[in-house]
Structure 1
Amino acid sequence: MKIKNNTVDIIAFSSSLICAVHCATIPLILSFSSLGSLHFLGNPIIEWTFIAFGIVFVLVSLWPSYKKTHFKLKPLLYALLGFSFILLGRLDLNEFWEVSNTVAGASLVSLAHYFNWKLLQTKENHKH
């Protein structure tokens, strides 16, 4: 069963936004003592899982769309820049560094999928 790239982009866009919200809010949530038992949400395994899914979505959606449909590098460049920020955040210099870079990176990856989705929509609308 083949999934359309539009569906994959919507899922990827949503998961990237969820990642950005996760990374921005978890430090705040964990700082409240009554919610300290939610420390599992800051687990590196969860974070690396989001990163792995993000890479899979790029390989399943952005790359084939570029190669077969719209031939525009913009989504791929935004995804590359986004993952660069995410990896910079993994350097763990301090919490602000990690959160700001990861949120910026996840937002850029989300934008990459949005741009890809728009390019695919434009391409579909111009088919004759």
Structure 2
Amino acid sequence: MPEKLLRKLNLDVLGIGASLLCAIHCALLPVLITLLPLLGAHLLENEKLEYGLMACTFVIGCLALFRGYRHQHRQLLPLLLFLAGFAGLLLGHYAMPPLWRPIVITAGALLIIIAHIWNLHKCRH
């Protein structure tokens, strides 16, 4: 992607959107899981969708936060929040018992959103 286009895109806003989409997907899935067979909808429990959302969140987050760090504020806290949040997403998906999954995944997504908001704030000042 050309650097000029990357400057025009607000990657933090895209990252917040991707994280919110992931959090909503993960929070609503346990609630909607009982309705899915009735609706015939299997999109929400698609493993490829899960991988795609996590990959999108990771790529956008890395681009936005590393660019903000390198060109603007030189603060590690947004990067550390992002990494902790992404670790929460991974733990929630692959290492938590079913009862804890929505809580850990939502906490991870919130940390990622906070990292993007912090990065936006620091890049603007």
Shorter chain as normaliser: what TM range?
A: 0.7 to 0.9
Would the aligned equivalents of 2:11 and 2:61 in 1 still touch at CA under 8 Å? no
Structure 1 counterpart of 2:64, from 61, 64, 71: 61
Give the Cα separation in 1 of the matches to 2:71 and 2:78: 14
> Is 1:75 the counterpart of 2:78 in the alignment?
yes
Structure 2 counterpart of 1:16, from 14, 19, 33: 19
The normalised TM-score by structure 1 is 0.84
- Counterpart AA for 1:77: L
The normalised TM-score by structure 2 is 0.86
CA deviation profile, 1:70-99 (whole Å, cap 9, x unmatched): 001111011011011111112254322222
Q: Identify unmatched segments of 5+ residues in structure 2.
A: none
Would the aligned equivalents of 2:36 and 2:42 in 1 still touch at CA under 8 Å? no
Identity percentage of aligned residues: 30
Would the aligned equivalents of 1:24 and 1:103 in 2 still touch at CA under 8 Å? yes
Q: Identify unmatched segments of 5+ residues in structure 1.
A: 123-128
Partner of 2:112: 109
User: Counting helix residues as a fraction of each chain, which structure ranks higher?
Assistant: 1
CA deviation profile, 1:30-61 (whole Å, cap 9, x unmatched): 22366452232121111111111111112211
- For the aligned residue pairs, the C-alpha RMSD in angstroms reads 1.9
